[in-house]
Structure 1
Amino acid sequence: MDKVTLSIGNRQWQGWQSVNITRSLGAVTGEYRISLTQKWRDAERLPIKEGMAVKVIIGNEVLATGYVAERLPSYDGKSINYEITCRDKTKDLVESSVLHASGEWKDINLQAMAKEICAPYGIGVVVETDIGAAFTTIRLEQGESGFELLERLSRQRGVLLTSDANGNLVLTRGSKSKLATRLELGKNILAARGRFSEDSRFNQYIVKGVADALDGWEPSQVSGNQVVIKDNLVQRYRPKIIITEEVFTAEGASRRGQWQRQRAIGQSFSSEITVQGWRMPDGQLWPLNRRVDVVCPIQELNHEMLISTVTFIEDDNGRVTVLNVVPPEAMDIPPEKAKPKDDTGWLSLG
């Protein structure tokens, strides 16, 4: 069985009784909670401090690179427990504010912007998809974190922000790659819990422009501009107005509306599926951002889904992997300029 190792400096720590490792396509930083319980006579003080650089390794595979974020030592009359929480290097992008002399950038694309924001933290940037055109003007909001800034820019380009095993920031989209293994009730699904909701779904997303006088735009020129993205699977009248964060263009507003619609799909239609062990039949760890066939009559699922979150768990009941799957449409924003479709594939609220 694969050992879970925390590699900190020149030391490697193993023998953890409880492990919970989560990576999510919808989150830029993963979280890893690991605990060790020892009897008093066997206990040793762990020289692990918050802020230390750490790698989380399963077997011989590096799963995450980051920092020790929190320590929770506790004890009773019989034993001592050490619980360690680690987070990806990208945690600093989420928690720290951006410092910039002018607070404004001109004619810069998402990749260049991400590299500039990530550089002070020693975080690399990996681009896996088309990032679209350069932004005419970007303005920093007071106190805004690096992630908040990059996330609002990524919405305009239909790009997802996540992290990889080496702690890099990754600019990506929902993968087209599909696993040979499928998830099927009565075969490899141990447990499942679906969420099928109409909350946060609207029949139309109306994206409007905002004035930017410094770029020669007058309010009267901008206020009338709008793009409407429809979700025909929402039958009732439910409009949602969105103000675009950049100077209005039809393409940018269209992509912004599609991003909002697709994320709403992912939030309202998902399934949490538990399988035995941490590896697929081919020996690979269950991956993030891969398509997989799901066959589950109880949830009325017989579709290709996308793995949006992976959680590796070990406790007294053994090892399991919890996979959150969503419709591929939820993470699929077209990278090229095209007239957006009004439907959302096979997805239906029934």
Structure 2
Amino acid sequence: MRVYLPAKIPTRRIALRIDGKVIDRWFRVELVHDMSELSASFELSVHDDERAVGAWPWTTPAGDGEPMNWGRKAEILIDGKLWLIGWIDDVCSDAGDRGGFVTISGRDLTGDLVDCPPDPRGKHEYKSIMLDEFARKICAPFGIKVKCDVDIKPAFPKCTVEAGETVISCLAKYAKQRAVVITTDRVGTLLITRSGKEKAADDIMFPGNVTKVRATFSARERFSDYFVKGQSEKNGGRRPATAALDANAEPLDEAPEQPEPATDSPLDKPGGAGAHVMGHARDPDVTRWRPYISMSRTQAQDVDAQKQAEWEMRTRRAKGDKMDYAYSGITAGPDQKPWLMNTVAFVEDDYAGLSSEQLIAGVAISYDERGELTRLRVTGREAFDLLPVGDRRSQKKSGKKGKSKGGSKPGGLDSTAKPL
């Protein structure tokens, strides 16, 4: 994979703010927010010419206060507006023929939820609880807020924290049962949502406002039949109280007939460890026998298993077809705003024959020797959603929209900036 070189002139549109101090002379920038990862990330490189002499005492690019050390809380701004609040994870110094550089990288505040387990001193089992309330309880020690903007009923009979699992792993197993997306707003809030609830900054036109496209249509992760198997609580609940004997009672004509077990598993036998449940969905496009099975990590009902199977089928089908577009610039549309992940854009791609609304599943904003560039990872709207959207290529517009030109508007930094 090619490593792009730093630009000759630093960008002033993207800035790092630490403890009120702003650094806005970055020669290489990479800002990534993708639905395949919980946390948004950043990587910034700056010349360290002042330290490129003497004994090469590499520490930080700024002399006063040394604000670039790892573990520092950092804010990323685009045109003076807040884009990310997070922590610096790594500081790397590098020197060569082109001079000295220091590169810092990190993630937004939810990065700790990816790395760490819930508080080991806290509860490990929560009964009759909604998903968002469960999330608030295990995210609270990290100072992460939780926002939910979709219906996630009903409450779970029981949510458990297994030994060794991280916060996001703990939440993901329950989010999957409700077919919701867990992501971040990049500034300190965990979002429980579904895909494509907002419009993107602009439409995507090729040829037009994007300069390059790479399309992938893959069947590697698609299957003919999707099975989700699980186990619910043991049938019958509490044992009923013993009935009083009746001297006049007569024996039953015959014992009630028991169903034959589907397999040799004890889960399939009456009186086993619990009731066996299974959901099944088919992808009609995959004509050969190619099964996929997933075991539910939590106790489930038949309706939950069926929803998971249908969700698994649709998401894998949508993710199999994806396009990556290159947009020249950092901001887009009439309001000149950055492209945002989990937004819907109408894609008019004459080369790929695509004319429909698509989900922007990933955004990567960069600045280097190529200049300002935004890479957009686009997939079907149903890729992360519970409900089917329909044929991705059939949502035609009545006439083509004028092909908009990409552009950018530099703006000054504002210490009172609000989130994008």
Aligned to 1:16: 26
Range with bigger deviation, 206-215 or 80-89: 206-215
Distance 2:153 2:279 in 1: 18
Give runs of ≥4 in structure 1 deviating > 6 Å.
none
Aligned to 2:366: 313
Task: Write out aligned runs for 1:267-346 (5 A).
Answer: 267-282=319-334, 283-334=336-387, 345-346=390-391
* Closer, same or farther: CA 231–347 of 1 in aligned 2, 3 Å: farther
1:171 is aligned, of 192, 198, 207, to 192
More helix by share: 1
Percent identity between matched residues is 25
Distance 1:41 1:120 in 2: 40
Aligned to 2:7: none
Aligned to 2:181: 160
Secondary structure, counterpart of 2:288 in structure 1: coil
Secondary structure, counterpart of 2:298 in structure 1: strand
2:281 equivalent to 1:246: no
2:41–2:105 contact (8 Å) kept in structure 1: yes
Distance 2:170 2:62 in 1: 43
Range with bigger deviation, 2-11 or 269-278: 2-11
TM-score of the superposed pair, with normalisation by structure 2: 0.75
How many residues of Structure 1 are paired with residues of Structure 2 in the alignment?
340
Distance 2:171 2:192 in 1: 10
Range with bigger deviation, 203-212 or 140-149: 203-212
TM-score of the superposed pair, with normalisation by structure 1: 0.89
Letter in 2 for 1:268: G
Distance 2:29 2:216 in 1: 25
Task: Write out aligned runs for 1:1-350 (5 A).
Answer: 3-40=13-50, 44-45=62-63, 46-76=66-96, 79-98=99-118, 99-179=120-200, 181-210=202-231, 212=233, 216=237, 219=267, 220=269, 222=274, 224-282=276-334, 283-334=336-387, 345-347=390-392
Larger radius of gyration between Structure 1 and Structure 2: 2
Range with bigger deviation, 70-79 or 211-220: 211-220
Secondary structure, counterpart of 2:351 in structure 1: helix
Cα shift at 1:40: 4.3
Distance 1:104 1:136 in 2: 10
1:26–1:160 contact (8 Å) kept in structure 2: no
Secondary structure, counterpart of 2:338 in structure 1: coil
Letter in 1 for 2:13: K
2:109–2:186 contact (8 Å) kept in structure 1: no
Unaligned runs of 5+ in 2: 1-10, 53-60, 239-265, 394-420
* Closer, same or farther: CA 91–177 of 1 in aligned 2, 3 Å: closer
2:357–2:392 contact (8 Å) kept in structure 1: no
More strand by share: 1
Unaligned runs of 5+ in 1: 335-340
